[in-house]
Each structure stands twice: as structure tokens, then as C-alpha cells.
Amino acid sequence: MTSIVIPAHNEGRVIGRLLDALLADASAPGPDIVVVCNGCTDDTAEVAAARGPRVRVVEIPTPSKHTALRVGDEHARGYPRLYVDADVVVGAADVRALTGALAGSPDLLAAAPGRDIPLTGCAWPVRAYYRVWQRLPAVREGLFGRGVIAVTEPGHERLAALPPLMADDLAASLAFGPGERLVVEAARVVVHPPRTWSDLVRRRIRAATSSAEYERFQASRRADAPASPSAPSAPSAPSAPSARTGTADLRALLRAQPGLLPGAVVFVVAALAARRGSRKAIRDQDFSTWLRDESSRQN
């Protein structure tokens, strides 16, 4: 049986649209859906419970996504297992496409859907930014930034070995080698972007801070690795994996699509603002303050 774990912290405004999409196909056997309300002070639990017995709601007092994911694992019943953010929208048919891809190849451990980012109603710099961001190689090929990841049981073991990290989806993506992960374009997820420039910058500050934490984790893991060149490396620790965008990526994109130059300028400005805004958190090693974007959660 497929299990879906949904960690949710104060997502009462949006979790209903996700659950409705997952429950829309009543003709096929439904997945096991576990919503873990972590430290909620709104009506998230009530909204989820109102969807009926196919949704099991677990409430915990700690506002921690990592803890919510582990608690969800304790209540989930089967594999493949999907971890789905409460603020995205993915349907039952998309879930079947992901699990079918995993079942079709013994080498695959993890899969994620193609992403759709509706930009209507967003400020023009946000639209310009995402026109560039979506075309970057690491963004196209990685499992992060989609709000959905499906894993087999061995893939779950790989994720369970990761420590608590703010960049949990980035770490999950980079825990698998290129031959072990797949973006299934036939499956789709709707990822709602920030609507305002200030909310976009908040997201990018969070991304810059969490990337720094992940890179420190990688550095410490390499430092603890056996010194002998003949010693086997852990399968979950590829050498210095990264999803950072470099100037070479932008230059290659602009050579192929010169019309993206205005968006590239916006992208660089956002990156510089994020780097500047994340300095204090990185210096203080504050990797727990979650700069949440509320504009994407407006109905």
C-alpha cells in the first residue's frame, strides 16, 4: 500500500486543496494518508479530519517538520512512501505515476513530479525570477523545490539516516545519485510561488541559509570519512554534491536564450539580497528560524 505523509504547521488555509486532489479519484484504491499537525495553533487538524476516514490526523506539540516526518513514518503503513508539503497540490493520478515509475526500475530509489508554478498575480520581478530559475539545470534535474518526494523502502532508509536540516528537500535530493533518482514529468505538482518581491527574498534568504547549513554538514561528513583512499564511501555520501547555481550556468542559459537577460538580472539581484540577508543567521549558526512566505498561501 502506498503511504503519504504530510507534515503541516498552521496550514489550515491550504491543506484542504491538497487533500481534495489526493482524494478526488474514488474509483481506485486510495493511498494511506497521514497528516501530522506539528505545533499547530490554527484549524489544520480540523480541516484535515473533515476529509473523512481516508485521512488519519496525528497531532504533536512540537513545531518541527523533521519531527513530523519521523512521527509520520511511525504511523504510515506501506511503500512506496510519499512525503508531501501541505502547501502544494498533487493528485491521485500523479501519485500513481510516481509509484509506477519506482516499481518499474529496481535501481530507482526516489522520484518526484514535474512542477507547475502558476505566476498569474505575482509581481513582475517574481515572474522574471522564476522564468530563469525553472530553466537552470540543477533545478530541472533535482528533486528539491517540488514539495513531493516518493521513495522505496531502501530509499526511505537513505532519508532516515539524514540529520535534521532546514534544507530537507535539498538534502533528500542530493542523498541519491543521478541513477537512483528520477523526475517523472508525467506526474505534476502545483507549487505556489511567492507573490511579492519581499516574500521572494525571504524565501531566498531561507534557501541561502539552509544551503550553508547543508554544506557544513557535508564538510563535517567528509572530515569524518576514512582517510584511506581504498576505504569504501557510504552510498548516501556522494562526493560534495551541490545544487548551487554558478555564473557558468547563467551564461550558458543566456547563450541559448538571450531574451532571458532581464530575468537573469533579477535572479542575480535576488541572489545578492539573499546572500546579504543570510549573513547574520549563518554567522550565528541559526538554522532553525523559518522565514515563511505567507503570500503563496493566500487563496
Task: Say which CATH number the domain at 62 has.
Answer: 3.90.550.10
Q: Are residues 16 and 138 in the same domain?
A: no
> What does the pLDDT average to over 74-101?
96
Residue 208 within a domain = yes
Kindly list the distances between the CA atom of residue 101 and the CA atoms of 18, 19, 97, 160, in Å, as whole numbers in the listed order.
22, 22, 6, 22
Residue 154 within a domain = no
Q: Are residues 68 and 170 in the same domain?
A: no
Last residue of a domain, one of 48, 78, 108: 78
Q: Are residues 93 and 213 in the same domain?
A: yes
Q: What are phi and psi of 49, to 5 degrees?
A: -65, -30
- Into how many domains does the chain fold? 2
Q: Are residues 60 and 193 in the same domain?
A: no
Pairing of β 32-38 and β 55-60:
parallel
Q: Which domain holds residue 11?
A: 1-78
Q: Distance between the two ends of the chain, CA-based, in angstroms? A: 33
What was the pLDDT predicted at 30?
Answer: 79
pLDDT category at 292 given cuts 50, 70, 90 is confident
Give the ranges where 104-165 is alpha helix by DSSP (H): 124-133, 137-141, 153-160
Helix H or strand E segment including 232: none
Q: Are residues 106 and 249 in the same domain?
A: yes
Instruction: Classify residue 189 as exposed, middle or buried by CB count within 10 Å of its CB (0-12, 13-18, 19+).
Output: buried
> What does the pLDDT average to over 173-190?
95
Residue 277 CA to residue 225 CA, distance in Å, equals: 33
**pTM score, two decimals?**
0.89
In one-letter notation, the amino acid at residue 107 is D
Under a CB-based contact definition with an 8 Å cutoff, are residues 31 and 60 in contact?
A: no
C-alpha torsion 113→114→119→122, nearest 10: 50
Does residue 233 have a pLDDT over 60? no
3-state secondary structure of 93: helix
> What does the pLDDT average to over 230-256?
68
Residue 42 within a domain = yes
pLDDT category at 235 given cuts 50, 70, 90 is very low
Residue 298 within a domain = yes
Residue written as cell 547563467? 250
What was the pLDDT predicted at 236?
Answer: 44
Pairing of β 110-116 and β 148-151:
antiparallel
